[in-house]
Amino acid sequence: MKLHPIKLLIGACLTLSLTRVFIHWDMVYLFLVWNLFLAWIAYPVADIMIRTKRWYVALVSLGLSMLFLPNAAYLVTDLIHFRKSTKIDPWFDLVLFSTYAITGLVLTYYTVKRLTKGLSKYLTVRWLRVSQFAIFTAIGIGIYLGRVERFNSWDAVLNPLDFLNSLIWIGFSDQRYELLGFSALYAAFTGLTYIILRQFELHHSDV
């Protein structure tokens, strides 16, 4: 029985975090566990698109999944919090952060894969490719809004006016260039990661 890569990676993340707590009683990086939970949400929600036969349920599933999907690749940017500790070997923390980052990218891959499969019931191949481009663009923008503007996924629903006002302000200020550059970088990065993992899976399906 093969263990799914996501389960294996999440298990590795939690093991490393718990090891850090129990051995050194240092809880400074426990925020990674919360970020991992937020990153995981989009994955099971995207599966609803595949299983449902109702278009409106699929639409809600798509919306919710897209709302939380940027949290997955966002784990890569948590590397900014890496610092040398006087209590813990920095090499351990490097593995900790790297494992969370890899998990985020793998979660992004499998979630986008599920979304693509779900959308394939409603879109042609041409529009399916356009939708994938839009998904990675949204991921890049979402990471920027989370990392730079400090928005949470639920702010778009709970505080829509503040969320929209911030987007409008950014769109009409010089900050839009930062938004475009940052979003393009992470859209390209996550898109390239998706392509590499997809090709690996297609050519190594027997592994």
Q: CA angle, corner 189, sides to 155 and 206, nearest 5? A: 110
Confidence of residue 141 (pLDDT cuts 50, 70, 90): very high
Confidence of residue 160 (pLDDT cuts 50, 70, 90): confident
pLDDT in tens, 7-29: 999 999 999 999 988 887 878 89
Min mean pLDDT across 57-71, 86-100, 139-153, 193-207 is at 193-207
Provide the domain limits for residue 76: 5-203
Confidence of residue 195 (pLDDT cuts 50, 70, 90): very high
Instruction: Specify the pLDDT at position 112.
Output: 97
CB neighbour class for 15 (10 Å; exposed up to 12, middle 13-18, buried from 19): exposed
How many separate helices (H) and strands (E) can be counted in the chain? Answer: 9, 0
Instruction: Specify the pLDDT at position 84.
Output: 63
pLDDT in tens, 65-121: 999 999 999 999 999 998 866 677 888 999 999 999 999 999 999 999 999 999 999
Do residues 68 and 36 touch, judged by C-beta distance below 8 A? no
Q: Which two tokens stand for residue 65?
A: 């999944």
Give the integer Cα–Cα distance in Å for 80 and 96: 13
Phi, psi of 120 (to 5 degrees): -65, -20
Do residues 26 and 85 touch, judged by C-beta distance below 8 A? yes
Instruction: Specify the pLDDT at position 80.
Output: 92
Domain count across the chain: 1
Confidence of residue 205 (pLDDT cuts 50, 70, 90): low
Q: How far is CA 163 from the centre of its chain?
A: 20
What is the pLDDT of the chain when averaged over all its residues? 91
- Other C-beta atoms closer than 10 Å to the C-beta of 64 total 17
pLDDT in tens, 161-189: 888 888 899 988 999 999 999 999 999 99
Give the integer Cα–Cα distance in Å for 83 and 96: 12
Mean pLDDT of 138-147: 95
Give the integer Cα–Cα distance in Å for 112 and 107: 8
Residue 206 has pLDDT above 60, yes or no: no
DSSP code for 106 = H
Can you give the pTM of this predicted structure?
Answer: 0.92
